[in-house]
Chain A
Amino acid sequence: MGEVILTMKGIDKSFPGVHALDHVDLEVRKGEVHALMGENGAGKSTLMKVLTGIYKKDSGTITYEGKEVEFHNTREAQDAGVVIVHQELNMLGHLTVAQNIFIGREFKKGIRIDDKKMNEEAKKLFDRMHIDIDPKETMSRLTVGKQQMCEIAKAISHKAKVIIFDEPSAALTEAEIEELFKIIRDLREQGLGIVYISHRMDEIKVITDRVTVMRYGTYVGTLITKDSTKDDIINMMVGRVIYEDPKTQNMTPKGSPVVLKVEHLNAGKMVQDVSFELHKGEILGFSGLMGAGRTETARALFGADPMDSGDIYVNGQKVTIKSPQDAVKYGIGYLSEDRKRYGIVVQKSVAENTTMADLDAFANGPFIDKKKEKEIAEKYVESLATKTPSVDQLVVNLSGGNQQKVVIAKWLTRNCDILIFDEPTRGIDVGAKNEIYKLMNQLAAEGKAIIMISSEMTEILRMSDRIVVMCEGKKTGELDISEATQENIMNMATREIN
């Protein structure tokens, strides 16, 4: 490790309803790989967004190469040499590799774009990284792993001095991860400062020099990786709290009837021959890696996307679901992972969102009974403990956790018996997370049947009675919670890949 290149001190940032960063510190040295760890919602990505100018900090200082700086956008950060390699790739699929790498700063010959020069320069970059990618290849034809390499090449081409990797391995295969690590080690040799965000403990041990841990938007501490154990890091991440009442056994009442049966469901490439059963009062976890086809399965089942074939039975009755309208009719409610796009109408009030799925019940002929609407909305604000000044408040002004509660209220108003929670706690801070968990347990105890799609292993193990594991569009396993471990789930989740 060399001298300090980047120091963030006392960084503070609030969003309406969420104190996202509470005086967080981070120090990166030249030639080190510095892990940034923490649960989902701990504030890692927010911190990096503050660094690269996507968010403006409320207070605190950033010192880069000895000078205090404040980048106003990613462009400024890039020009200074601070580059982020995103989790979601920002590539234009129909352009070539080289065109993607040099987008926005193309080499020119007169007014013409000099593709030849770009290809040469891209080749040089790849040579420097010791990888073999054809710069003339169309981006969309590369694997996700190769695309990620291109992102890294792009970062290097910005003469980066600090590169931030935001969960780079999430979508990669073992072999690709190996290759990625080789490149990261190379970059470290060359004296770059690297910030590595990941959840995967074993990777952290392998690749990083120091670890900074965050929790609930606060700075917990920094460890030297080789001097600390996995348990040290985990303890710092979870703190005293949480994982109260983890599930050790299936809580579904014995002989509980099957409320939903899906047989040989096919929908495009992402859903291939998926079958499962869901019981009354059960929480069925859907585990798998990103892109395993879990959301696609839920959407096909809910009628949001067309299904190619397969049979669905609700309460033993065979049903045809062609649209969300049909699904809702049979008492199925879907809570999307992307609430703002698919769950709520943010520019409308809490009350209006609450009755969205069941407006007929609040109407006399064509007219809406606003008094009745207000009553039910207030009832659910109270029973779900939604934090809002009134039911007339626009949903856009609520925090993520409270928005999620509005979506839950919507489906409870409709009296749905089958609820599909797709990443129920994504983007929700930890306190609110526990409330959502409690709520889901309560709903199951009341006899609702719940499908919970989650990418967080801890969430799956904490909430599920049974677990379905998917990989590359296929169901690769099914486990009772009593026999489930992180390892055997992971095995099933990667079965198709290996």
Chain B
Amino acid sequence: MEAIKQNPLVKKVGFNRIVLCIVLILMYALFCALTGGNFVGSSRILSALNYAYFLGFLSLGVTFVIATGGIDFSIGPVMFCCALIAGFSLVTYGVPLPAALLISLVIGIGFGIFNGYLVAYWSVPSFITSMASMNIAKGLASVFTRTQSVNWPQANDTANGWYRYLVRYNDIPVGLIILIVVAVICAVILNKTKMGRYILCLGSNKEAVRLSGVNVKKWEMMAYILCGLLVGISAIFYVGAYTTVQPGYGDQYNNEAIAGCVMGGTSMAGGLASISGTIIGVFIISLLQEGILALGINKNYQLIITGIIVIVAVFSDVVARRRKN
């Protein structure tokens, strides 16, 4: 075991990520076996991918926040808020589609600024801030849409249906390509830029970074803003896959996005984060979701299983750390 861990290739890729990949493959095999081949087909996979897109962007976003040592429980509801307000503007007010997509991004960034400002400049705990903005997002969306669900245009809508190509063009999973590209950009930001360096360092020891003369408030806020932008993107991919959004929901995606992150090796204590880990984590959760659906198990069990996964992931993180010390 130790020998495997010390292997240079394994070290480079990361032991944890290799384990996750194996889990992912085993899970796929398990679902295929349990459903008697029913799962192999591409429709199941495509459906799991649809889930992975929007969840992936959410999870990437919250990875940056968690890297600072914070948490964001508003991402799911904010994503819905983006999708609802942008969609309502598009469908009811006739705002052009590019403008509607932009609205989604702007709302996401707006919530990012709000959360980030309160956390970084006013020292409000991120837990509290994000709980508050979760409620604000839900309320705002409900007020704006008059508590109506919003149906984004279908693919056959010649004028405004093209946004769905972002998710899938004929049989090409465009969304997957975009997700991977964005993930690569995120990885570059996290590992190769000043912003990433400061985010990770301040997540590890904020006071030491501050006393080095770094504007920690600015960089901490930047993590939330980046998260907000990714939430705005996530909203586009949500409606691109499902078209219908209902006000008052979105909470369940918080847990799944955070679970993806933590499973992938991002530490809840801050300072340590892995983008590739987050992506694999998201794939596992999406596959799990689809698999449970395919098996015809009640959806509530999925909640239970995700909950357990989060606990196991966090617990193994804690144990690994304790052993290291």
Partners in one complex: yes
Known contacts A348-B201, A352-B201, A357-B213: does B208 contact A368 (CB below 8 Å)? Answer: no
Of the candidate stretches B106-114, B190-198, B276-284, the one touching chain A is B190-198
* Nearest residue, chain B, Cβ from A304: B211
- Distance (Å) between the CB of B248 and the closest chain A CB? 39
B211 touches A342 (CB 8 A): yes
A366 touches B194 (CB 8 A): yes
User: Is A306's beta carbon under 8 Å from chain B?
Assistant: no
Chain A positions 342-361 with a Cβ under 8 Å from a chain B Cβ: 342-348, 352, 356-357, 359-360
Min CB gap A352→B, angstroms: 7
> In the complex, which residues of chain B have a beta carbon less than 8 angstroms from the beta carbon of A360?
194
Residues of B171-229 whose CB lies within 8 A of A? 192-195, 197-198, 200-201, 204-205, 207-215
The answer to whether B209 and A345 have CB atoms under 8 Å apart is yes
Does A329 interact with chain B (Cβ within 8 Å)?
A: yes
Q: Does A327 contact B (CB under 8 A)?
A: yes
Mark out the residues of chain B between 41 and 55 whose CB falls within 8 Å of any chain A CB in the assembled complex: none
Contact between B207 and A342 (Cβ–Cβ < 8 Å)? yes
A367 to B201, CA, bound (A): 16
Does B86 count as interface, using CB distance less than 8 angstroms?
A: no
Contact string against B for A residues 446-458, beta-carbon threshold 8 Å, 1 for contact and 0 otherwise: 0000000000000
- A357–B214 touching, CB < 8 Å: yes
Decide if the interface of chain B is mainly helix, strand, loop or mixed. Answer: helix
Answer whether residue A325 sits at the interface, using C-beta atoms and an 8 A cutoff: yes
The CA of A356 and the CA of B194, in the complex, are separated in Å by 10
B205 and A356 within 8 A (CB)? no
User: Are B197 and A359 touching (Cβ within 8 A)?
Assistant: yes
B194 contacts A368, C-beta separation under 8 Å: yes
Chain B residues whose CB sits within 8 angstroms of the CB of A324 once the complex forms: 210-213
Chain B: minimal CB distance from A118 (Å): 35
A279 within 8 A of B: no
Q: Which of B197, B209, B211 contacts A336 (CB 8 A)?
A: B211
CB-based contact A346/B193 at 8 Å: no
Contact A368 B207 (CB under 8 A): no
A368 touching B197, Cβ below 8 Å? yes
Q: Is A1 an interface residue (CB 8 A)?
A: no
By a CB distance below 8 angstroms, the chain B residues around A302 are 211
Q: Which residues of A contact B207 (CB under 8 A)?
A: 341-342
Whether B214 and A325, one on each chain, are in contact in the complex, defined by CB atoms closer than 8 angstroms, is yes
**Of B193, B197, B205, which contacts A344 at CB under 8 A?**
B205
**Minimum CB–CB distance for A271 against chain B, Å:** 18
| Cβ contact within 8 Å between A347 and B271 | yes
A window 308-336: CB within 8 A of B: 323-325, 327-329, 334, 336
A343 vs B215: C-alpha distance in the bound complex, in angstroms?
A: 16
CA–CA, A357 and B197, complex, Å: 12
Closest B residue to A344 by beta carbon equals: B208
- Is the CB–CB distance between B194 and A359 below 8 Å? yes
Q: Is B97 an interface residue (CB 8 A)?
A: no
Tell whether B150 is near chain A: CB-to-CB under 8 Å: no
Once the chains are docked, how many angstroms separate the CA of A363 from the CA of B214? Answer: 15
Interface residue ranges of A418-456 to B (CB < 8 Å): none
Distance (whole angstroms) from the CB of B223 to the closest CB of chain A: 14
Residue of B nearest to A328 (CB): B213
The docked-state distance in angstroms from the alpha carbon of A414 to that of B204 is: 21
List CB contacts (< 8 Å) of B255-278 with chain A.
Answer: 271-272
Interface centre among B192, B210, B211 (most CB of A within 10 A): B211
Kindly name the residue among B198, B205, B210 whose own CB sees the greatest number of chain A CB atoms within 10 A.
B205
Q: Which residues of B contact A342 (CB under 8 A)?
A: 207-208, 211
Q: Is the CB of B197 within 8 A of A343?
A: no
Q: Is A13 an interface residue (CB 8 A)?
A: no
Which residue of chain B has its CB nearest to the CB of A356?
Answer: B212
Q: Is B211 in contact with A334, judged by CB distance below 8 angstroms? A: yes
Chain A residues whose CB sits within 8 angstroms of the CB of B192 once the complex forms:
367-368, 370
Among A325, A329, A342, A346, chain B packs the most CB atoms within 10 A around the CB of A325
Give A302's nearest chain B residue, CB to CB.
B211
Q: Are B193 and A356 in contact (CB under 8 A)?
A: no
Question: In this complex, what residue of B is CB-closest to A347?
Answer: B204
Find out whether the CB atom of A343 lies under 8 angstroms from the CB atom of B214.
no
Provide the bound-state CA to CA distance between A327 and B72, in Å. Answer: 33
Are B195 and A366 in contact, CB atoms less than 8 angstroms apart?
Answer: yes
* Residues on A with beta carbons closer than 8 Å to the beta carbon of B271: 345, 347-348
> In the bound complex, do residue B213 and residue A352 qualify as a contact, i.e. CB atoms below 8 Å apart?
no
Contacts of B204 in A (CB 8 A): 345-348
In the bound complex, what is the Cα–Cα distance between A328 and B214 (angstroms)?
9
Q: Are B197 and A352 in contact (CB under 8 A)?
A: yes
B194 & A345 in contact (Cβ 8 Å cutoff): no
CA of A367 to CA of B197 in the docked complex: distance in angstroms? Answer: 10
Residue in chain B with minimal CB distance to A332: B213
Cross-chain contact A357 with B194 (CB below 8 angstroms): no
Instruction: From B194, B208, B211, B272, give the contact of A363 (CB < 8 A).
Output: B194
Q: Which B residues touch A327, using CB under 8 A?
A: 213
Known interface pairs A344-B205, A348-B201, A368-B193; A357-B272 also in contact (CB < 8 Å)? no
Scoring B197, B200, B201, B212 by chain A CB atoms within 10 A of each residue's CB, the highest score goes to: B212
Roughly how many angstroms separate A42 CA and B135 CA in the complex, as a whole number?
A: 57
Most buried by A among B204, B207, B208: B208
28 A-B residue contacts at CB 8 Å? A302-B211, A323-B210, A324-B211, A324-B213, A328-B212, A329-B213, A334-B211, A341-B205, A341-B207, A342-B208, A343-B211, A344-B205, A345-B201, A345-B208, A345-B271, A346-B204, A347-B204, A347-B272, A356-B208, A356-B212, A356-B214, A357-B212, A357-B214, A360-B194, A363-B194, A366-B194, A368-B192, A368-B197
Residues on B facing A (Cβ under 8 Å): 192-195, 197-198, 200-201, 204-205, 207-215, 271-272
User: Known contacts A341-B207, A345-B201, A345-B204; can you find 4 more A-B pairs with CB under 8 A?
Assistant: A304-B211, A343-B211, A347-B272, A348-B271
Lowest 9 CB-CB distances: which A-B pairs, in order? A328-B213, A357-B212, A366-B193, A345-B205, A356-B212, A347-B204, A345-B204, A324-B213, A345-B201
Instruction: Write the residues of chain A forming the contact surface with B, with a CB cutoff of 8 angstroms.
Output: 302, 304, 323-325, 327-329, 334, 336, 341-348, 352, 356-357, 359-360, 363, 366-368, 370, 410, 414
